[in-house]
Structure 1
Amino acid sequence: MLQALKSVRHLQSIAMKHAVSELCVPVPWGELRGKVWGPDHGRPVLCLHGWADNCGTFNSLIPLLPKECRYVAVDLAGHGLSSHRSPGVFYSFPAYVMDVRRVVDALQWSKFSIIGHSMGGNVAGMFSSLYPEMVDAVVLLDSYGFFPTDKKEMLKVMRQGMDQMVQFEKMTEDKKRRVYTYENAVERLMAANPTLSERSVHILLERGLVQVEGGVMFTRDLRINLKNITRISLEQSLELQSGIQASVLVILAEDGFEKMFSEPEQKKFTSAILQAYRDRNHAVVTVPGDHHVHLNDPKAVAPLVSDFLQTKVLTQPARQTAEQTSKL
């Protein structure tokens, strides 16, 4: 056990060497945590991780991106080191969007870019459509920006989510707070995410575990596993997408979502969303790799992201004063 905890600390020291500081934003139920890279007055870029991950997902990528930017990667509520939502509360995309609004308000950012992986990309898409004047560029890493649900399935999904919450609230604390050795936690995360490299697993566990008596526990809130009861249709997704004013770069992984959502009904939704990006002159590219290619093999996506930020952000005049870029 002692050796396992030493491994956690050693990995933390390696991955944190590029980080400028730790982020902490007070919220009504606790705090949202994160990490910050780059100069104080660099062009602001918000980085949003995927479901069940944490902001460590950007540890490998950000050091390869333009140094002129200020990167703030956030642990979304219920993930990483951020507080869990209050008892009885669901996790939903609108709630995550509200969390982003709280973070950028605390940072005093009036104009910024977003890099979002998977679920984080969906949060980025919704935020960019609700607050188009605040976002100048969006990078979607193996994400479509929106995740539509067939209208015929919505009631069933909502009911499933509510029933799952009822059952969750009946669980004993022992079942909610399972203790592992560090080695068993590694095995569990690798089994649940077979596309993650072992190195990537260790990176995610830096913020994904907490030391407790007898071992370690996963920090994420088990309620994130419940069905998301807030759904939107394809038509609603396309309407929201049409409100985005930012430049968008969609980077899909060959063995990522395009492979996972390959059924005809699923392809109907994803193809419509991707074509709508193309019709608005946004970029859609595919790279070799899997769903976590940005973490497993960051060099496969870093040149694309860097060129996009250079072209769409860094060559454009800043829209806010240095005093507005960050309070950190």
Structure 2
Amino acid sequence: MTARVEEIRLNLPHVELAAHLYGPEDGQPVLALHGWLDNAATFARLAPKLEGLRIVALDFAGHGHSAHRGAGAGYQLWDYVMDVLLVAEELGWQRFSLLGHSLGGIISMMLASSMPDRVERLALIDGLVPYVGEAEQAPQKLGEALQAQLDLRTKRKPVYATLEQAVEARMKGVGDVSREAAELLAVRGLMPVPGGYTWRTDARLTLPSPLRLTRAHARAFVEALRCPVDLVVAEQGMLASEQLLMTWLTLLPITVHRLPGGHHLHLDDEAGAQAVADCFNRAFAVP
């Protein structure tokens, strides 16, 4: 993790995003998208091991060092998709590839399927389709989401007296991570407040979705993909236990790589990062 990384800012029309920049200026253009409540540091081990790529690893809006969305705005999947497209416009990239983990993999898939002329290749880590909901559940789910928005006004973020306490909390968060991984994410994800530290992330990120895609929607998106797709499935991750999805993948033109490790296998240790890099380096080497 000693490779040179540059911190940059991207001024979109509606929000300012932070990012890490890796690789040679003439490398293949790649936007790297992290998972829910993570940040650009999720690629700190992996990005230096990827060869010949110009990687812009974003902090999504509301995450890491990026700005939060304005009052009244939300964090729906399509909002992230538009952000990524606007980043490409800001960089002057007409065609580019996407490297996505978890939520970042879902955003990558949705952008590639809806704007196939813009995306060269997908390299995904334990993320492909969103959580789905069927039509008959929609009224109840919307009501729950609206109530959660009202309740958020009286909630406060947790405050940790020490960095160590925050790191331990992150180790037990969404997708258990190793201590080193939690430290990397925490350094970028925390800010000092009276009494200790709290997360920089926008509290609205924890709200339930007011509307979910149906299973038919999700399948239509994946079947609309036209670019090469390499998907790493962690054996102890979130996708491996989805038997219906794993069966479905066998029917699609997606190259699946099953690797040992958890949901954050690309960040937990150097061996996991190298295993993922080996898969993706082979993929990106194909003309």
Q: TM-score, normalised by structure 2?
A: 0.92
- How many Å separate the matches in 2 of 1:287 and 1:85? 36
Residue 222 of structure 1, CA deviation: 1.3
C-alpha separation in 1, matches of 2:157 and 2:263? 28
Q: Check conservation: 1:29, 1:83, Cα contact below 8 A.
A: no
2:73 aligned to which of 68, 83, 89:
89
Partner of 1:137: 121
What residue in structure 2 maps to residue 183 of structure 1? 164
Q: Structure 1 or 2: larger helix share?
A: 1
- 1:106 paired residue number: 90
CA deviation string 1:92-123 (max 9, x = no partner): 10000011011111001011111100000000
Q: Is the 8 A contact 2:233 2:257 kept in 1?
A: yes
Which structure 1 residue ranges, 5 or more long, are not aligned?
Answer: 1-14, 317-328
For 1:191 and 1:197, locate their aligned partners in 2 and report how far apart those are by CA, in whole Å: 9
Q: Tell me the residue number matched to 1:4.
A: none
Judge conservation of contact 1:80–1:207 (CA < 8 Å) in 2: yes
| Equivalent position of 1:120 in the other structure | 104
The question of whether the paired residues in 1 share the 8 Å contact of 2:175 and 2:264 is answered with: no
Runs of 4+ in 1 over 4 A off after TM superposition: none
> Tell me, which stretches of 5 or more residues in structure 2 are unaligned?
none
Hey, what's the Cα distance between the residues in 1 that align with 2:160 and 2:169?
Answer: 12
Query: What amino acid does structure 1 have at the position aligned with 2:95?
Result: K
Note if contact 1:126-1:146 (Cα within 8 Å) is conserved in structure 2.
no
The equivalent of 1:292 in structure 2 is 264
32, 37, 42: which is aligned to 2:27?
42
CA–CA distance in structure 2, aligned partners of residues 152 and 19 of structure 1 = 51
Partner of residue 308, structure 1: 283
Please list the CA deviations of residues 113-136 of structure 1 after superposition, one character each: whole Å capped at 9, or x if unmatched.
Answer: 111000000000110011100111
- How many residue pairs get aligned? The number is 284
So what's the TM-score if we normalise by structure 1? Answer: 0.81
Query: How many angstroms apart in 1 are the aligned matches of 2:249 and 2:127?
Result: 10
User: Whose relative contact order is higher, 1 or 2, with alpha carbons under 8 Å and at least 6 apart?
Assistant: 1
Q: Please state how far the C-alpha of 1:147 moved relative to its aligned partner.
A: 3.6
Q: Which has the higher Rg, Structure 1 or Structure 2?
A: 1
User: Which position in structure 1 is the counterpart of 2:225?
Assistant: 244
The 2-side partners of 1:231 and 1:194 are apart by 21
In the alignment, is the contact (CA less than 8 A) between 1:116 and 1:124 conserved in 2? Answer: yes
RMSD of Structure 2 on Structure 1 (CA) = 1.9
Instruction: Tell me the percent identity.
Output: 32
Which residue among 225, 236, 239 is the counterpart of 1:258? Answer: 239
Letter matched to residue 150 of structure 2:
V
Partner amino acid, structure 1, of 2:154: M
- The answer to whether the Cα contact below 8 Å between 2:126 and 2:263 also exists between their aligned partners in 1 is yes
* Letter matched to residue 126 of structure 1: M
Is the Cα–Cα contact under 8 Å of residues 19 and 57 in structure 2 kept in the other structure?
A: yes
